[in-house]
Amino acid sequence: MALNILKLCVGCDSVEELEAWVAQKLAERRRNGEPVEHWHTTRMVPARGPEITDGGSLYWVIKGNVQCRQLITEIRPFTDDQGIGRCRLILDPVIVRTDWQPRRPFQGWRYLKAEDAPADLGKGRAGMAEMPPKLRQELAELGLL
């Protein structure tokens, strides 16, 4: 069974903003002749890498709720130009919206077991993704999502 990672999406106020940021980074890499791939850099290398790359995703907490995920395709440890060990989580650029799941702030990232992860938005709830982000946030704060 795949293992997931849970991380705060610092600097993004909505899934739409995250989608735009990913598209911008991919376009920038394409223009610069670099490999067109998307990644997120972390300080720590997950010790359970094989479980994560076996179908695990990075679940993003945006404004206090898990709202979406991206499939983790590879984990690449590296040393930065200051000699600090870091890790790139190579992500599928497609962002999959999920049911909202409230989460308190935390530092770094956490493992997230598959049975504890929110479900992807199915056809019956796909209309929720079409709601304006502010409305979704207000409904979540009221406990209606």
Q: How many CA atoms lie within 13 A of 124 on its CB side?
A: 2
d(CA 21, CA 142): 28
Q: What is the pTM of this model?
A: 0.85
Are 19 and 95 in contact, with CB atoms under 8 Å apart?
Answer: yes
Tokens 């223009």 belong to residue: 31
d(CA 48, CA 71): 16
Mean per-residue pLDDT pooled into runs of 10, the chain (145 residues):
93 94 96 95 93 97 95 96 94 95 92 95 62 69 64
CB atoms within 10 A of CB 77: 13
Phi/psi of residue 108, each to 5°?
70, -140
